[in-house]
Amino acid sequence: MVRQEGRAVLTEVESKAFLQGAGIPVAETRLATSRKEALALARELGFPAVVKVVSPQIIHKSDIGGVKVGLTNGAEVGRAYDQVLAAARTASPAATIHGVSIQRMASPGVEVIIGMTKDIQFGPVLMFGLGGVMVEVLKDVAFRIVPLTRRDARQMVREIKGFPILEGYRGQRGVDIPRLEQALLDLSAFLEKHDEVKELDLNPIFAYQDGILAVDARVILEEPAPVAGRG
């Protein structure tokens, strides 16, 4: 469908579906194309719910009011549906809007990010750091070239300055560090099989004492190669 529409940017729903084979737990997220469907999906997935606008052209959904969180009942979901669509149409009138995504709000954890970009010389490069706004403000991240070894994954997690937060800081419990290392290895292996991925972000991933959960995802594919003309 993405290629058929002539685009390379996957929506959040498409990105999460694509990453199902990467071995990283991803929050179940469903697309609703009507208010009625949004209410039904929220009841099915459970409250509190999160509603986000779904559009290939709107990458930073929170910045334009396209995300509503902590919705505790159907009435709130219905209002959120109307509000995020209105906000998206105001902020980006030309954007193609597929609908809204519905997911159950995850329990809070330590936010980390795993991302990938392609270097012209070295190819896919994985990045790891503290997630959310922390990665934008502190830029406390580590990089390694794909494919990763187990030693690479271990070093990446430990070389960021925020590692003490992952270990447990001032009475806070530490997170499942081996699971974060395995996530890096799993994603590295996934990317080796999917050369069509140009850019990828899992941000945030909530890291817990006993596991991890990616609650948002963004995937950009390589532009399709032009078809050679017949001579």
Domains of the chain: 28-104 (3.30.1490.20), 110-221 (3.30.470.20)
Least confident of 12-16, 56-60, 68-72, 143-147: 56-60
Please give the average per-residue pLDDT across 1-24, as a whole number.
86
In the predicted structure, residue 87 carries a pLDDT above the cut 60: yes
Residue 121 CB coordination number (10 Å): 6
pLDDT score of 230? 46
Please determine, for residue 80, whether its predicted confidence score (pLDDT) is greater than 90: yes
Share of the chain above pLDDT 90, in %: 84
In the predicted model, is pLDDT for residue 17 greater than 70? yes
Beta-strand pair 99-104/29-32: antiparallel
Average pLDDT, stretch 42-53? 98
CA 204 and chain centroid, separation: 7
Whether pLDDT at 221 is above 80: yes
